Structure 1
């Protein structure tokens, strides 16, 4: 393991962070993330953040909070689908390379090349030779990225089996989140120990000084988001970038423009007004 990493608790599940404290601190951190974004853009820096971990560990919701107030032209989420037949014949890292950031960009990988060390290995989607080659090449690949000046941060979201099952059940019962649950997710319940061994083996080979793994305990999603964002900010030497002072110009006087009659255009139905009428609320 890389130096400087310690377990954050005593083995007991932490109390959930209150919503009031969470929302106040999240807003403060998101302001800092905007400063980080502007620094990346001004300096031409390249930042890669890898999000890995168990199914339902909270990776996606954390990425959502990271990018919530950022410019999507600067901060991009990379969530690749299953590789095509052509991509399967490429060098394994090849399809990830085209999504690496250029100067002034941030790439957030919602799962990454570490699919090979996790689901592909556990589910038998790759050969033993391909798996062994990945464990050998991944540290080399990442050292090359860092050597070229890319800021690489890797986060592993850890969740207990009991909390994972709770989240799976919640997704199953919620029609707005059911799409998050796949047969592959359910398969992971019966392969809990296999995934644990795969994660341990992955850390042995890829937890390197140039690109260490940082573990985020995520039984409490609110704390996990705050801890991950705060840590990311602490590892990048950004500073607030001066921006030009902007003032709204006075609106010029009318030159006689008249808007066309409303009947000349097609408007969407006023669904919101119908809701108010149905509830008997005053308009």
Structure 2
């Protein structure tokens, strides 16, 4: 196993390059939690890059041999859990944080299953399928992140809310990247939604369907908003610094979704992002929100729960 300090430093560089939003929010954690967040992020980023044959979330590479890349992720992750060297810093980092925080192979498998869906060019048929995909690629990461922050593995309620935050992040990503994903041959909009809008397969990003695309993006953002509000209920149970960090990330990422909804048909003329000044405003607002610690949940809790999505994933 590599020296811990070296792994932490490599992981820090990974998050700074891969996600400025997460990097900024991570600085609000206490030192130990912050380092563990970096270690976990490094594995997530590396798995994503291997699966999509890309570098730090950049342009997708050749998508052939997807099954081989997926196998590599599984083999390296298994070696990491076994405490064996992997010759890859990110997987060694994951082995370390998994050992320190009680992350299980089953939790990692939940995440890897999301890459498997992309590898077989899977498409969601309905809203439940959409949320199942979001569970794999982000909700399950939220559960691991909760363990990193010290949440007990038996604290089902808090883990459920951590999953909600991951789902919300992914829904914001999907809304922002609808056109970009289509260019890469991917579509995460449920087939039922496309049929309701009377859109032909593969035509949803065409100019004459831009209004319908904006309507479906608004549906994604509405789901995002519900899960974000539910997640705030779980954040209330965290220590102050972790609560501040999570609320900051929730505000920053939610703003991406809200901006997509606000821009409607012009949302994909350029990439929606949160400026540095806006991030600072969200961090400041989250500070006072964390102090007050009186979250208001959604009018109705999310239709799809972590247990339902996990069960749906197992049966699939």
* TM-score calculated relative to the size of structure 2: 0.26
In our comparison, the structure showing a higher alpha carbon Rg is: 1
Larger RCO of the pair (alpha carbons < 8 Å, separation 6+): 1
